Structures are given as C-alpha cells and as structure tokens.
Amino acid sequence: MALKSGTRNHLRAAMADPGASNEVKNVLEVVEGGVAGATFTIGTESANAIIVSIQLTDDNGDDIAAASAVTILLFDDAAGAAFNTDDFTIAAGTDGAVAEAVADKVIHAVSESDGDIDLSLTIAGAATTYVAVVLPGGKMAISAVVTHAA
C-alpha cells in the first residue's frame, strides 16, 4: 500500500504529538519502502523466449531495497480485461523466483533483494501478451505488449 506524500507527511506530523498512537508509527513502517509500482523492460526474442525484466518500485518511484512477493498476471489486452489465452512456458530468468499458480495466467513471484524479477516467456509461433504486476490495494502496473514473432 502506498501513500501519497501529503498523507505520509500528515501521519509524520501526528507522530510528533506525544499522544499519537503507536499504530500510526506501525502504519508508516509498513508503507515506507514497500512495493508501490513496477517498471518493465521487454527483451528481444531469442530461441522463442522473451525475458520481461520487472523492477519493483516504492511510492517515490525508487527501486525497492528488499525481496518482495507479488502476483503477476498475463493478459491478452493492455487494459487487463482478458486473461491470456496462449500456451507459454513460463520460468524465472536470472533475477527472482517464479511459480505458476494458474497455467499461463497467474504467477507468484519473489524479487531479489533489489526488487528485480526476470520472467521468461517462451512460445513457438506468433503470440502477444501483456504482463501485469498486482500492486497492494489491487491496482495493476501493466507492461507494453510482449510480441513473439511467427
């Protein structure tokens, strides 16, 4: 869960009050440094595989500095309205760990300690898909199209 700077500042001001609850402090500790976004780099196809590199970011847009677990979804459209229908082989690249929860649709992933995840998508033939990271609160960060040539 990410807080906007103004909200975070109000919570910090409340902490200066001697009567402030420890709960405010606990909320800030959970929110600061947690996953709030993701950026994507789509590699070039090689031997039917494309590596999608995912960088998890905090609420300031900085790379997170902790291993983090996220859910990744594969979609047929950029809006995230239709789950993927292609038959991919899904594996981790050199960063992070992945496990399919629902074949070709839902993936559980754990980043390395610097927030990196490499997702290898392999398919013989033409295919397109979009990779989405589910963020705390349910919003998604969605990649540009990942296109496999025929």
Hey, where are the domains in the chain?
1-32, 37-148
Take residue 9 and report the two structure tokens written for it: 């500042």
Write down the pLDDT at residue 34.
Answer: 84
Tell me the mean pLDDT per 10 residues along the chain, length 150. 61 69 60 84 97 94 93 97 95 95 95 96 96 93 94
- Interacting residues of 26 by C-beta distance below 8 A, sequence separation 6+: none
**Are the CB atoms for 118 and 52 separated by under 8 Å?**
yes
Whole-structure pTM value = 0.81
The span from the CA of 135 to the CA of 63, in Å, is 15
Q: Which residues pair with 39 in a beta bridge?
A: 55
Q: For position 4, what pLDDT does the model report? A: 56
Q: What is the pLDDT of residue 5?
A: 58
Homologous superfamily of domain range 37-148: Immunoglobulins (2.60.40.10)
Identity at 21, one-letter amino acid code: S
What pLDDT was estimated at residue 21? 63
